[in-house]
């Protein structure tokens, strides 16, 4: 019992430090961005002030974009520590702690401390987790904690906590019911009929209430927001079900029709020695999510970049545990493969983990002029700023993603930082235009940073 707690707790503590240092270094060196750290920072700030969570970066109520009531629940803590770095540290804690339930399941099922440790380590250094942590903050990333706890309480038959965490998980993101539905179907296959049916019903009711009632009430297009980007011939969610029933080959057509998609599947499964392929759990939970992503016209959702794959990893990890147990696979070659894939993947010498260990705190003294300059802007003023600057100024009711200006009182630009979505030359041209404008005056200029104030 002590090993089930001590070993993964030490591992989690180590990765809380590693993930926190990495994301804080990115943030304070102005490599974090408006999408999505700036969006979630503004939303959490508005919740903490008792204000309507209307995102001026997305131009909509934030709950209509992603159903993340968890931001409301953590807003009291944010009120005590009102800074984007609070969200980054909380994310590091959520992600790192999620390895503890995974380790506990592995230790109980496999009775092997080394394999359990390697699975937990592979989990924390998998492509899905590392890419998500490297991409600022997102609800999908922090959702790995409730998802791993759902699997833990189900596996150890702690039913009261199972249903509590199941309900709490709905506050993290609107796609959580997809995974709950897959788990329910798996439970039915495992002959846990009553539990499985209740879990499936819970998932379907949750989807109906959140996706088809609450979110459309907040924004008319929420129920079909992503259907317009689908490659498939569908106009409403029910069309998807009909398409799957009439053309089941649509699954394989969309899952395996691109080298990018195949690379994504390879990267996800390689972290766990491809063992999840042998478990029905992964087919019922991971592949439905991948199918929805792969049938989108947004190519970025086909990859493991950003945050898209984080919430798949708990199911892949547990699926690998079930596969090892069910098929009595010899552990020695499994251990060798885990170590090989670790040091050619998440623990590669040029990767995130060793990068932080070798250089835990980056020198950002050359950027302090930006932080000092930003402090001259009133917290009640409306601002338009570049993407890397927005997370540092998001504690306000109105902040806009430049080149959107609208009624902003200030424009904050720095030609030395990322100019996305503009190219660097276009940004410099816009700065030159504002300098000549009769509507704007220069409030402050320091090196490459310039703050314009509306006349």
Question: What does the domain layout of the chain look like in residue ranges?
Answer: 2-358, 365-454
**Cis omega (within 30 of 0) on the bond before 421?**
yes
Query: What is the bridge-based pairing of β-strands 60-61 and 54-55?
Result: antiparallel
DSSP string covering 282-313, please? Answer: HHHHHHHHHHHHHTBS-GGGGSSSTTTTGGGH
Contact between 408 and 384 (Cβ < 8 Å):
yes
d(CA 334, CA 294): 30
- The greatest distance separating any two alpha carbons of the chain, rounded to the nearest whole angstrom, comes to 76
DSSP string covering 340-395, please? Answer: HHHHTTTT-TTSHHHHHHHSSS---GGGHHHHHHHTTS-TTS-EEE-TTTHHHH-S
CA distances from 30 to 24, 387, 407 (A): 10, 9, 25
Contact between 375 and 381 (Cβ < 8 Å):
no
d(CA 154, CA 157): 5
d(CA 445, CA 412): 10
| Digitized pLDDT (tens) for each residue of the chain, 455 residues in all | 556 689 999 999 999 999 999 999 999 999 999 998 999 999 999 999 999 999 999 999 999 989 999 999 999 999 999 999 999 999 999 999 999 999 999 999 999 999 999 999 999 999 999 999 999 999 999 999 999 999 999 999 999 999 999 999 999 999 999 999 999 999 999 999 999 999 999 999 999 999 889 998 888 766 666 655 677 766 666 666 677 677 777 777 777 788 999 999 999 999 999 999 999 999 999 988 888 888 888 888 899 989 999 999 999 999 999 999 999 889 999 999 999 999 999 999 999 999 999 999 888 888 999 999 999 999 999 999 999 999 999 999 999 999 999 999 999 999 999 999 999 999 999 999 999 999 999 999 999 999 999 99
Beta strand segments in 190-343, E: none
In three-state secondary structure terms, 208 is helix
**Sequence-ordered list of residues with C-beta below 8 angstroms from that of 402, at least 6 positions apart, any chain:** 384, 385, 386, 411, 412, 413
Task: Output phi, psi for 60, to 5 deg.
Answer: -165, 160
d(CA 45, CA 323): 44
d(CA 46, CA 396): 8
**Sequence-ordered list of residues with C-beta below 8 angstroms from that of 47, at least 6 positions apart, any chain:** 53, 71, 72, 75, 78
Query: What is the bridge-based pairing of β-strands 383-385 and 410-414?
Result: parallel
Nearest to 256 by CA among 310, 313, 283, 295: 295
């Amino acid at each position: 019992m002590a090993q089930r707690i001590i070993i993964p707790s030490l591992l989690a503590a180590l990765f809380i430090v590693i993930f926190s240092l990495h994301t804080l270094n990115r943030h304070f060196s102005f490599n974090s961005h408006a999408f999505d750290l700036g969006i979630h920072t503004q939303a959490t700030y508005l919740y903490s002030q008792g204000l309507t969570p209307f995102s001026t970066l997305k131009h909509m109520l934030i709950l209509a974009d992603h159903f993340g009531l968890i931001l409301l629940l953590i807003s009291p803590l944010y009120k005590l520590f009102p800074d984007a770095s609070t969200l980054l540290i909380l994310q590091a804690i959520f992600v790192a702690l999620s390895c503890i339930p995974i380790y506990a399941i592995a230790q109980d099922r496999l009775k092997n401390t080394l394999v359990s440790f390697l699975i937990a380590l592979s989990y924390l250094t998998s492509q899905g987790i590392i890419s998500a942590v490297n991409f600022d903050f997102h609800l999908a990333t922090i959702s790995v904690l409730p998802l791993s706890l759902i699997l833990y309480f189900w596996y150890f038959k702690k039913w009261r906590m199972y249903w509590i965490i199941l309900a709490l998980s709905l506050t993290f993101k609107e796609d959580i019911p997809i995974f709950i539905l897959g788990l329910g179907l798996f439970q039915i296959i495992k002959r846990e009929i009553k539990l499985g049916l209740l879990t499936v019903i819970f998932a379907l009711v949750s989807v109906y209430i959140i996706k088809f009632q609450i979110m459309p009430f907040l924004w008319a297009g929420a129920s079909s927001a992503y259907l317009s980007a689908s490659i498939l011939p569908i106009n409403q969610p029910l069309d998807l079900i009909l398409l799957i029933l009439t053309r089941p080959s649509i699954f394989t057509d969309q899952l395996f029709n691109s080298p990018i998609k195949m690379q994504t599947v390879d990267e996800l499964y390689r972290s766990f020695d491809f063992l999840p392929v042998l478990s029905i759990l992964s087919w019922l939970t991971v592949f439905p999510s991948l199918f929805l992503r792969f049938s989108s016209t947004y190519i970025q959702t086909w990859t493991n970049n950003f945050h898209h794959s984080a919430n798949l990893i708990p199911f892949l990890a547990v699926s690998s545990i079930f596969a090892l147990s069910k098929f009595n696979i010899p552990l020695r070659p499994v251990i060798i493969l885990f170590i090989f894939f670790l040091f050619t993947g998440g623990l590669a010498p040029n990767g995130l983990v060793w990068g932080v260990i070798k250089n835990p705190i980056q020198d950002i003294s050359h950027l302090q002029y930006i932080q000092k300059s930003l402090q001259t802007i009133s917290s009640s003023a409306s601002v338009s700023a570049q993407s890397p600057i927005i997370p540092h100024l998001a504690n306000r009711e109105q902040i806009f993603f430049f080149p959107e200006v609208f009624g902003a009182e200030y424009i904050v630009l720095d030609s030395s930082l990322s100019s996305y979505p503009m190219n660097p030359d276009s940004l410099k041209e816009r700065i030159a235009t504002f300098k000549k404008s009769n509507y704007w005056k220069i409030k402050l200029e320091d090196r490459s940073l310039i703050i314009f104030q509306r006349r």
